Amino acid sequence: MNEQILIDQTIDKFKLGKKWFWIGIVVAFIHALAGLIYGITLILEKDHRREGIIIIAFAIAWALFSYFVVGPWLLNWMTAKGLIIPKLNIQQVQLPQQLQ
């Protein structure tokens, strides 16, 4: 009987940890800094250190990937579509003789 209760508690604990692990991954995907903070708080818990390390690693990897791959691609795509950074024609203006 006691073994069954212990097994049920372990299974419930694993389900809870797994749910919070996936929530941490989603948080890190949405915002890397929030994922880092959440991962650090999980590291401070003795039972969830492994999940915290995984979330921190994912947050750092996602931040680097989005900064070096997604960011430049998005900037090039938006520039090509004319959505940002309009093409400006800069013309040289001649100052009057008095100001030179």
In tens, the pLDDT along 1-32 reads 566 666 666 656 655 567 888 888 899 999 99
Residue showing tokens 């604990």? 13
Q: How many C-beta atoms lie closer than 10 Å to residue 94's C-beta? A: 6
- Tokens for 4, please give them: 């069954």
Closest C-alpha to 58, from 30, 81, 85: 30
Condensed to tens digits (0 to 9), the pLDDT of residues 45-66 reads 888 888 889 999 999 999 999 9
Query: What pLDDT sits at residue 86?
Result: 61
Query: What pLDDT sits at residue 23?
Result: 87
Query: What pLDDT sits at residue 34?
Result: 93
Condensed to tens digits (0 to 9), the pLDDT of residues 63-91 reads 999 999 988 888 888 777 767 666 667 77
> Please, are residues 41 and 27 in contact by the beta-carbon 8 Å criterion?
no
